[in-house]
Chain A
């Protein structure tokens, strides 16, 4: 038993019409049907945070949402975080400056998470930063650099 659905989703500002199988997650949709492979899939069951995207401005796990559920929504992936000319966003710039990544696999999820955090709380405390990062796993254990990157992006570096 499966069903097919026609959806219209705005992905990084571009309206996309697509036909999706009900069981296709939003993560697989953006990677395979939109060709946006910046969104990474680690655990595929909501634990690792690598697949974090914004849906109508809220950070969510794209592996825990079906693409059909995003019909009518605005989705922002890591490709939509920087400027249209490829310029890095302040968060991305800060990750680079503070060595907030090693292998880079988890980075798209962190960048989207931190972008959402700072949109809501532009000057987070260290405790708030760590709390917000707790839903993303970095297996290189580069958390110190990531925390510094968030501080830098927020302009609160000690």
Chain B
């Protein structure tokens, strides 16, 4: 239950971190809040010769508002997201992440880059069409959330790249938002979860998590929601093509049933809040 040995690097500027990653390649892992990585190291599910800790890099912390979006720098603690009122999905998803002691340390970028299929932020990023900003010695690029999450714990970021920020569009019209999930115990990873954003007559976004190797959008259900179809039928549409794996936590059929329930609740909640 103790991590294997590693060389620890704590650069205080981003360029130094990018140099280290360029030099060390696959032997290095970025350490953000450590709330997923450190358990993985302690359980010896993975080991790395080098950890590059981003916690001392000031420019990776904080949020800013720009061009209709909330830009959250990667090392911003999850706890700070509980009070962002201009991206309600972030504020509502955050209390569902672990426990407050975890959120005091866990970061927004760490959760996105870790890409656990049952975690909340990837679903929020997908639903809002967020852009993820990556940096490496080779330059910077912006990747849409729809192209970032590849599979369980796997993203399209290269080993020498650091996720430096996520850009979440703000929905400024009369809109409603909801995040719903079912977990066995408070703070556990969700067996199934759904996020929903809805602007009557304009747009609807639904993303599910915990039911596939990545969070997934439900485009047919979004169309149905916009068309005013009852929530239960929207939910039915959302889970039509899901084929979650059986695992020790729940059977595939259970997860589909739970997914349908959380979508129904999220759709109902977002509609009520939007006054539709």
For residue B53, which residues in chain A have a CB less than 8 angstroms away from its CB? 69
Stretch at the interface among B1-9, B131-139, B265-273: B1-9
Q: Compute how far the CA of A52 lies from the CA of B98 in the bound complex, rounded to whole angstroms.
A: 14
Asked whether B50 lies within 8 Å of A1 as measured between CB atoms, the reply is: yes
Interface residues of B in 1-51 (CB under 8 A from A): 1-8, 10, 34-35, 38-39, 42-43, 49-51
Asked whether A60 lies within 8 Å of B5 as measured between CB atoms, the reply is: no
Q: Does B155 contact A (CB under 8 A)?
A: no
Q: Chain B interface (Cβ within 8 Å of chain A)?
A: 1-8, 10, 34-35, 38-39, 42-43, 49-51, 53, 55, 79, 95, 98-102, 104-105, 185-187
Asked whether A23 lies within 8 Å of B101 as measured between CB atoms, the reply is: no
Question: Which of A25, A45, A46, A52 has the most CB atoms of chain B within a 10 A radius of its CB?
Answer: A46
Asked whether B101 lies within 8 Å of A135 as measured between CB atoms, the reply is: yes
Task: From A45, A58, A132, give the contact of B42 (CB < 8 A).
Answer: A45
Question: Closest residue of chain B to A135, judged by CB?
Answer: B99
What distance in Å separates the Cβ of B99 from its nearest Cβ neighbour in chain A? 3
Question: Closest residue of chain B to A51, judged by CB?
Answer: B101
Q: Can you add 7 more A-B contacts, CB < 8 Å, to A22-B6, A52-B101, A65-B105?
A: A1-B6, A5-B8, A22-B5, A49-B99, A64-B34, A64-B38, A135-B100
A-B contact pairs, 24 of them (CB 8 A): A1-B6, A1-B49, A22-B6, A25-B38, A28-B2, A44-B2, A45-B38, A46-B39, A52-B101, A58-B79, A59-B101, A60-B101, A60-B104, A61-B35, A61-B105, A63-B42, A64-B102, A65-B34, A69-B34, A117-B100, A131-B186, A132-B100, A134-B187, A135-B100
Q: Chain A interface (Cβ within 8 Å of chain B)?
A: 1-3, 5, 21-23, 25, 28, 44-46, 49, 52, 58-61, 63-66, 68-69, 113, 116-117, 131-132, 134-135
- How many A-B contacts are there with CB distance less than 8 Å? 92
Q: Compute how far the CA of A7 lies from the CA of B257 in the bound complex, rounded to whole angstroms.
A: 52
For residue B34, which residues in chain A have a CB less than 8 angstroms away from its CB? 64-66, 69
Asked whether B8 lies within 8 Å of A3 as measured between CB atoms, the reply is: yes
Contacts A46-B35, A46-B39, A64-B38 given: A69-B101 contact, CB under 8 Å? no
Q: Compute how far the CA of A113 lies from the CA of B102 in the bound complex, rounded to whole angstroms.
A: 12
Asked whether A23 lies within 8 Å of B6 as measured between CB atoms, the reply is: yes
Q: Compute how far the CA of A46 lies from the CA of B39 in the bound complex, rounded to whole angstroms.
A: 7
Q: Please report whether the interface of chain B is mostly helix, strand, loop or mixed according to DSSP.
A: loop
Task: From B2, B35, B55, give the contact of A23 (CB < 8 A).
Answer: B2
For residue A60, which residues in chain B have a CB less than 8 angstroms away from its CB? 101, 104-105
For residue A66, which residues in chain B have a CB less than 8 angstroms away from its CB? 8, 34, 38
What distance in Å separates the Cβ of B244 from its nearest Cβ neighbour in chain A? 24
What distance in Å separates the Cβ of B104 from its nearest Cβ neighbour in chain A? 4
Q: Compute how far the CA of A18 lies from the CA of B98 in the bound complex, rounded to whole angstroms.
A: 32
Task: From A2, A45, A69, give the contact of B55 (CB < 8 A).
Answer: A69
Asked whether A22 lies within 8 Å of B187 as measured between CB atoms, the reply is: no
Question: Which of A3, A45, A64, A116 has the most CB atoms of chain B within a 10 A radius of its CB?
Answer: A64
What distance in Å separates the Cβ of A72 from its nearest Cβ neighbour in chain B? 9
For residue B105, which residues in chain A have a CB less than 8 angstroms away from its CB? 58, 60-61, 64-65
Asked whether B35 lies within 8 Å of A45 as measured between CB atoms, the reply is: no
Q: Compute how far the CA of A61 lies from the CA of B95 in the bound complex, rounded to whole angstroms.
A: 17
Contacts A59-B104, A60-B105 given: A134-B5 contact, CB under 8 Å? no
